[in-house]
Structure 1
Amino acid sequence: MISVSKLLCGLDAESDGLRYDAADGSKKPQITDDKQQRPVVVWNTTKRCNLYCEHCYAAADQEEAPNELSTAEGKALIDDLAEFGVPVLLFSGGEPLVREDLLELIAHAADSGVRPVLSTNGTLLTRDRARELKQAGLKYAGVSVDGLPERNDRIRGEEGAFDAAVRGIEACLDVGLKTGLRYTITEHNVEDLAGVVDLLVDVGVDRFCFYHLDYGGRGADISDVDLSPEATRKAVTDLCDLTREYHESGEEIETLLVGNYADAGHLVEYADREMGTDRAQRIYRYLERNGGDPTGERVADVDPVGNVHLTQFWQGYSPGNVRDRSFGAIWSDKSNPLLGALREREDHLSGKCADCAYQSVCRGGSRLRALAAHDDPFAPDPKCYLTEAERDGEAAMSRIRGGPAADAD
């Protein structure tokens, strides 16, 4: 994740220590004071879902996957993650709220010292359910909304899904459970982005996560409606402008970009153009600490039947199953060639990624999109929208990397 509001507006967040090793300078209570050493883990707790979204990376449907992890196995997984030092466990799906043992699992994570958060479509959230989740120890609920009512409902395959999700958001806010928006941007909904932010700010939401489409699950089936590089650049620029406008008006909304680390280079260029080189230097240093695309390193996934994945979107490959080996053993296995190559990807990137000026803050972007587009996980990410001049701008990079302001954090 790249925090637009942190980088452009200086807004403190709970993740400053985890993401930027900047806990000392933050006024917010921190998830951790130290830079992330172990992956944030997404657990797809079930394949079952009450909706059928066109971009679902997990290809969720009406039925559970055969042989999903039981309550006891889920608790054992949580214990394993806690022992390995995982800082955050994201309960996802399918729709995790259809699991009858979800409260028990969240409570177990909280008791084990792993921060439990939730990804949900929000339509099953009531005030009572939200209160129970908070009492169990849930720290945050990310609710997926993908446009204003008509577009959202079409994308999610259910009339009334938008209104139900907003009611779910309101239920969480009513009981004091921190809640944010999750929004996957495609040609189908890019025009609604600002309208959804405006509407949900009025509801009381102050955290907005915008996802680029990754080509996993049903997302691969709609890659033809992914934004073009030019449209992606415009959408990200618009989000930067929108974030700054809100902050200038006194609204401290947190905005984040997820899934395309070309955004890192673009934010530096945007800041250099709109805010000056001093700000661009600071942003560059933060992004270097963040470390670029986290696949196979700072993010991991466990699917409903226990298969480990290199990111939640890359469901087509698994280095092992937690029923056979511990998560820690799978993730630390130095004999796995793909894991090893991803962790030294600078030696394997090809094409324009191999010598890009922004490689240290991007690290090649999505390896899944590269695989889908080129049948090569180390080929260029087709969603890179940086210009040739930006990628090759040695003079500009020398200015951005150098100077005393680069250390003024």
Structure 2
Amino acid sequence: MISISKLLCGLDAESDGLRYDAAEESAVPQITERKQLRPVVVWNTTKRCNLYCDHCYASADTDGAPGELSTAEGKALLDQLADFGVPVVLFSGGEPLVRDDLPELVSHAADRGLRPVLSTNGTLLTEESAATLRDAGLQYAGVSVDGLPERNDAFRGKEGAFDAAIRGIEACLDAGLKTGLRYTITDRNAADLEGVIDLLTDVGVDRFCFYHLDYGGRGKGIVDADLSPAEKRDAVRRLFDLTREYHANGEEIETLLVGNYADAAYLIEYARRELGPEAASRIRTYLERNGGDPAGERIADVDPVGNVHLTQFWQGYSPGNVRDRPFGAIWRDAHNPLLEALYDRDSRLTGRCHECQYRDVCRGGSRLRALTVHEDLFAPDPQCYLTDSEIDSTADANPAD
């Protein structure tokens, strides 16, 4: 994740220590006082979902997967994560709220010192369930809204999904749960960007996570719905501008970008043009600490039946199953050639990525997109939108619009 509000506007956040090793600079309580040494883990608790979204990386459906982890096995997984030192576990799906034991699992995670957070479509959240999850120890709920009502409902395969998600957000806010919006940008909903922010700001949400489309699950089938690199660059610039406008008006909205680390390089270029070289240098230092694309290192996924994945989007490959080996043993397997290659990806990147002056803040972007489009794990990310002059460290440092 790239925190636009932190880097462009100086907004303190609870993740400053985790993400930028900057806990001592922040005025708000921190998730951790030091940069993470272990991955944040997404646990897809079930494949079952009450919606059918076009971009679902988990290919969720109306039925769960055969052999999903039981309550006891889920608690054993959480114990493994706690023993390994994982800082955050994100309960996801499918739709995690279809599991009756979700509050019990959240409570167990909290008791073991994990920070439990939730990724949900929001449509099943009620005042009662939000309060129950809060009392169980849930720290944050991220609710997915992919456009204004008509576009969101078409994307999610159910009329009324938008209104139900808004009711879910309001239930979380009424329960005192920190709540944010998750929004995946495609050519179907890019025009709704400003409208969604305005509407949900009115509802009271002050945290927005904007995701780029990754090419996993059903997302692989709608690659043609992704923005072109030029369109993506324009959407990202609009988000930078909107964030600054909100903060200039006294609204401390936390905004984050997820899924394309070309955004990190472009943020430096944008800051150099809009805020000056000193600000750009400061932002680059933070982004170097952040470490670029986290696949296989600072983000991990466990699917409903216990298979470990290199990110939640990369469901086509697993280095092992937590029923067979502890999570930590799988994640630190020195004999796994793919994990080892990802640790050493900087020296393996080819083409524009190999030559790029921002390789240390991007690390090649999405390896899954490169693999999907080019059938080459270390080819350039097809959704990099940097210009040739921005990539070339010897070029005149005058960023293009």
- TM-score normalised by the chain length of structure 1: 0.97
Distance across 2 between alignment mates of 1:300 and 1:22: 23
After TM superposition, the structure 1 = structure 2 runs for residues 1-400 of structure 1, keeping only pairs within 5 Å, are 1-394=1-394
1:208 is aligned with what amino acid?
F
Distance across 2 between alignment mates of 1:141 and 1:347: 38
- What's 1:405 paired with? none
Contact 2:48 2:94 (8 Å CA) reproduced: yes
Distance across 2 between alignment mates of 1:291 and 1:363: 8
After superposition, the C-alpha distances for 1:259-296 in whole angstroms (9 at most, x for unaligned) are 00000000000000011011100000000000000000
Structure 1 residue 347, shift from structure 2 partner? 1.4
The verdict on how the C-alpha distance between 1:87 and 1:396 changes in structure 2, with shifts beyond 3 A counting, is: farther
Aligned-partner SS, 1:311: coil
After superposition, the C-alpha distances for 1:104-135 in whole angstroms (9 at most, x for unaligned) are 00000000000000000000000111000000
Structure 1 residue 393, shift from structure 2 partner? 3.0
2:63 is aligned with what amino acid?
E
Aligned-partner SS, 2:129: helix
Distance across 1 between alignment mates of 2:327 and 2:347: 26
Structure 1 residue 99, shift from structure 2 partner? 0.3
After superposition, the C-alpha distances for 1:334-389 in whole angstroms (9 at most, x for unaligned) are 10000001011011111110120000000000000000011111110000000000
Distance across 1 between alignment mates of 2:7 and 2:394: 22
Contact 2:59 2:217 (8 Å CA) reproduced: yes
- What's 1:407 paired with? none
Distance across 1 between alignment mates of 2:198 and 2:32: 31
Structure 1 residue 394, shift from structure 2 partner? 2.9
- What's 1:406 paired with? none
Contact 2:95 2:120 (8 Å CA) reproduced: yes
After superposition, the C-alpha distances for 1:171-223 in whole angstroms (9 at most, x for unaligned) are 00011000000000000000001100000001100000000000000000000
Structure 1 residue 396, shift from structure 2 partner? 5.7
Contact 2:389 2:396 (8 Å CA) reproduced: no
Which consecutive segments of 4 or more residues in structure 1 shift more than 6 A? none
2:130 is aligned with what amino acid?
A
Aligned-partner SS, 2:355: coil
Distance across 1 between alignment mates of 2:327 and 2:3: 28
Distance across 1 between alignment mates of 2:378 and 2:317: 15
Q: RMSD of aligned C-alpha atoms?
A: 1.0
Distance across 2 between alignment mates of 1:377 and 1:304: 26
- TM-score normalised by the chain length of structure 2: 0.99
Identity %: 75
Aligned-partner SS, 1:117: strand
Distance across 2 between alignment mates of 1:366 and 1:278: 29
1:336 is aligned with what amino acid?
N
Any unmatched runs of 5+ in structure 1?
Answer: 401-409
